[in-house]
Amino acid sequence: MTRYERLADDIEAAVRRGVFGAGERILSVRRASEQHGVSIKTVLHAYALLESRGVIESRPQSGYFVRESWRAHGTAARDGAAGKPKARRAGAPKAPAAAPVDVSRLVLSTLRSIGAQDAVPLGSPYPDPALYPWRRINQYANAIARRHASWNLIDDLPPGNPELIRQIARRYAENGTPVDPEEIVVTVGATEAINLSLQAVAKPGDTVAVESPTYYAMLHAIERLGMRAIEVSTHPETGLDLDALERVLRRQKVAACMVMPNFQNPLGFRMPDERKARLVALAEAHDMPLIENDVYQELYFGPTRPTPLKHFDASGIVLHCASFSKSLSASYRIGWAMPGRYRAQVEKLKFLNTLTTPSVPQVALADYLRHDGYDRHLRRLRRFYRQQARLMRAMVQRFFPAGTRTSDPQGGYVLWVELPASVDSMRLYQAALARGITIGPGYMFSMRDDFHHYIRLNYSYPWTAQTEAALKTLGELIAQMT
Amino acid sequence: MTRYERLADDIEAAVRRGVFGAGERILSVRRASEQHGVSIKTVLHAYALLESRGVIESRPQSGYFVRESWRAHGTAARDGAAGKPKARRAGAPKAPAAAPVDVSRLVLSTLRSIGAQDAVPLGSPYPDPALYPWRRINQYANAIARRHASWNLIDDLPPGNPELIRQIARRYAENGTPVDPEEIVVTVGATEAINLSLQAVAKPGDTVAVESPTYYAMLHAIERLGMRAIEVSTHPETGLDLDALERVLRRQKVAACMVMPNFQNPLGFRMPDERKARLVALAEAHDMPLIENDVYQELYFGPTRPTPLKHFDASGIVLHCASFSKSLSASYRIGWAMPGRYRAQVEKLKFLNTLTTPSVPQVALADYLRHDGYDRHLRRLRRFYRQQARLMRAMVQRFFPAGTRTSDPQGGYVLWVELPASVDSMRLYQAALARGITIGPGYMFSMRDDFHHYIRLNYSYPWTAQTEAALKTLGELIAQMT
B206 to A78: CB separation less than 8 angstroms, yes or no: no
Contact at 8 Å (CB) between B271 and B238?
yes
pLDDT over threshold 80, residue B41: no
Quote the pLDDT of residue B100. 53
Rounded CA separation B89/B287 (Å): 26
Q: What is the mean pLDDT of chain A?
A: 88
Partner residue facing B341 (CB), from A81, A152, A343: A81
Nearest to B451 by CA among B216, B191, B109: B216
d(CA A75, CA A408): 45
The CA-based angle B359-B360-B361, given to 5 degrees, is 95
Provide the pLDDT for residue A100.
53
Contacts of A344 in chain B (CB under 8 A): 18, 20-21, 24
Alpha-carbon gap: B401 to the closest alpha carbon of chain A (Å): 32
Instruction: Name the β-bridge partners of A417.
Output: A406, A455
The residue among B101, B103, B114 whose CA lies nearest residue B458 is: B114
Identify the CA nearest to B318 among candidates B287, B349, B273, B275. B287
User: Which residues have CB under 8 Å from A216's CB, separation 6+?
Assistant: A103, A104, A107, A444, A445
CA-to-CA dists, residue A422 to A54, A374, A404, A452, angstroms: 30, 45, 12, 9
Radius of gyration of chain B (CA): 24
* pLDDT, position A334: 98
For residue B73, pLDDT over 60 is answered with no
Q: What is the pLDDT of residue B201?
A: 97
Is the pLDDT at A83 greater than 70? The verdict is no
Beta strands A207-212 and A256-259, pairing class: parallel
Q: pLDDT for A168-219, tens place per residue?
A: 999 999 888 988 898 999 999 999 999 999 999 999 999 999 999 999 999 9
Strand partners, B457: B415
Q: What is the pLDDT of residue B254?
A: 97
| Letter string b/e over residues B37-73, b meaning 16 or more CB atoms within 10 A of that residue's CB | ebeeebbebbbebbeeeebbeeeeebbbbbbeebbee
Q: Alpha-carbon distance B74 to B77, whole Å?
A: 8
Position A69 confidence tier, pLDDT thresholds 50, 70, 90: low
pLDDT band, residue B277 (cuts 50/70/90)? very high
Q: Which of residues 132-191 of B touch A (CB under 8 A)?
A: 132, 134-135, 138-139, 141-142, 145-146, 148-158, 180-183, 188-189, 191
Domain range A134-372, CATH architecture: 3-Layer(aba) Sandwich (3.40)
Query: Of the ranges A109-113, A139-143, B133-137, which one carries the lowest mean pLDDT score?
Result: A109-113
- Residue extents of the structural domains in chain A: 3-86, 104-131+376-481, 134-372
What is the mean pLDDT of the segment spanning B467-471? Answer: 96
| Residues of A in Cβ contact (< 8 Å) with B18 | 316, 341, 344
Write a three-state SS string for chain A. Answer: CCHHHHHHHHHHHHHHHCCCCCCCECCCHHHHHHHHCCCHHHHHHHHHHHHHCCCEEEECCCEEEECHHHHCCCCHHHHHHCCCCCCCCCCCCCCCCCCCCCHHHHHHHHHHHHHHHCCEHHHCCCCCHHHCCHHHHHHHHHHHHHHCCCCCHHHHCCCCCHHHHHHHHHHHHHCCCCCCHHHCEEEEHHHHHHHHHHHHHCCCCCEEEEEECCCHHHHHHHHHCCCEEEEEEEECCCEECHHHHHHHHHHCCCCEEEECCECCCCCCCECCHHHHHHHHHHHHHCCCCEEEECCCCCCECCCCCCCCHHHHCCCCCEEEEEECCCCCCCCCCEEEEECHHHHHHHHHHHHHHHCCCCHHHHHHHHHHHHHCCHHHHHHHHHHHHHHHHHHHHHHHHHHCCCCCEECCCCECCEEEEECCCCCCHHHHHHHHHHCCECCEEHHHHCCCCCCCCEEEEECCCCCCHHHHHHHHHHHHHHHHHC
Q: Which residues of B touch A357 (CB under 8 A)?
A: 333
Pairing assessment for the beta strands A454-458 and A414-418 based on DSSP bridges: antiparallel
Q: Has residue A464 got a pLDDT over 60?
A: yes
pLDDT given at position B154: 87
pLDDT at A81 over 70: no
Q: Which residues of A touch B33 (CB under 8 A)?
A: none
Span of A21-35, A316-330, B331-345 with lowest mean pLDDT: A21-35
For residue B19, list chain A residues with Cβ-Cβ distance below 8 A.
180, 182-183, 316, 341, 343
**Interface test with chain A among B64, B68, B146, B150, by most A beta carbons within 10 Å:** B150
More reliable by pLDDT, B178 or B96: B178
* Residue B78: predicted pLDDT: 29
Tens digit of pLDDT for each residue in B399-451? 999 999 999 999 999 999 999 999 999 899 989 988 999 999 999 999 888 99
Query: For position B28, what pLDDT does the model report?
Result: 84
> Which residues of chain A are within 8 Å of residue B160 when distances are taken between CB atoms?
none
B96: confidence class by pLDDT, cuts 50, 70, 90: very low
Residue B82 has pLDDT above 80, yes or no: no
Name the residue of chain A whose CA is nearest to B290's CA: A82
E strand spans, B100-201: 185-188
Does the ipTM surpass 0.85?
no
Q: Tell me the per-residue pLDDT of B327-375, one tens digit each, with 9 for 90 and over.
A: 999 999 999 999 999 998 999 999 999 999 999 999 999 999 998 889 9
Residue A227: the pLDDT is 92
A82, A130, A256: residue with CB nearest B149: A130
pLDDT of residue B91: 36
Q: How far apart are the CA of A462 and the nearest CA of chain B, in angstroms?
A: 15
- pLDDT tens for A228-258 read 999 999 999 999 999 999 999 999 999 999 9
Give the H/E segment covering residue B277. helix B273-285
Task: Please report how the helices B359-371 and B162-174 are oriented relative to each other, as an axis angle in degrees rounded to 10.
Answer: 40
Question: Per the CB < 8 Å rule, is A358 touching B331?
Answer: yes
> Please, are residues B79 and B68 in contact by the beta-carbon 8 Å criterion?
no
- Chosen for mutation from A131, A352, A359 (greatest number of chain B CBs closer than 10 Å) is A352
Cβ of residue A284 closer than 8 Å to a chain B Cβ: no
Higher pLDDT, A64 or A76: A64
Whether A84 sits inside 8 A of B202 (CB atoms) is yes
Look at B352 and A148 and tell me if their CB atoms are within 8 Å.
no
Rounded distance between C-alpha atoms, residue B306 and residue B283, angstroms = 20
CA nearest to B160 within chain A: A112
* pLDDT for A6: 85
Q: Is the pLDDT of residue B68 over 80?
A: no
Q: What is the mean pLDDT of chain B?
A: 88
Residue A402 Cα, gap to closest chain B Cα (Å): 34
Q: What is the pLDDT of residue B107?
A: 87
Q: How far is C-alpha A4 from the geometric centre of its chain's CA atoms?
A: 40
Q: Report how far residue A195's alpha carbon sits from residue A217's, in angstroms, rounded to the nearest whole number.
A: 9
Angle A359-371/A162-174 helices, nearest 10 degrees?
40
**CB distance B344–A142 less than 8 Å?**
no
- Identify the CATH assignment for B3-86 out of 3.50.50.60, 3.40.50.300, 3.90.650.10, 1.10.10.10: 1.10.10.10
- pLDDT tier at B75, thresholds 50, 70, 90: very low
> Nearest Cα to B189, choosing from B345, B359, B321?
B321
Q: Which CATH class is domain A104-131+376-481?
A: alpha beta
Looking at domain B104-130+376-481, does it have CATH number 3.90.1150.10? Answer: yes
Angstrom distance (rounded) from CA B350 to CA A104: 11
Minimum CA–CA partner of A76 in chain B? B341
List of chain B residues whose C-beta atoms are within 8 Å of the C-beta of residue A78: 341-342
Please list every residue in chain B whose beta carbon sits closer than 8 Å to the beta carbon of residue A30.
none
Count contacts between A and B (CB, < 8 Å). Answer: 272
What pLDDT does residue B347 have? 94
Q: What is the pLDDT of residues B45-64, one digit of tens each?
A: 788 778 777 788 887 667 88
Is the CB of B27 less than 8 angstroms away from the CB of A150? no
Pair B42, B4: CB distance under 8 Å:
yes
Which of A32-41, A469-478, B308-317 is predicted with the least confidence, judged by mean pLDDT? A32-41
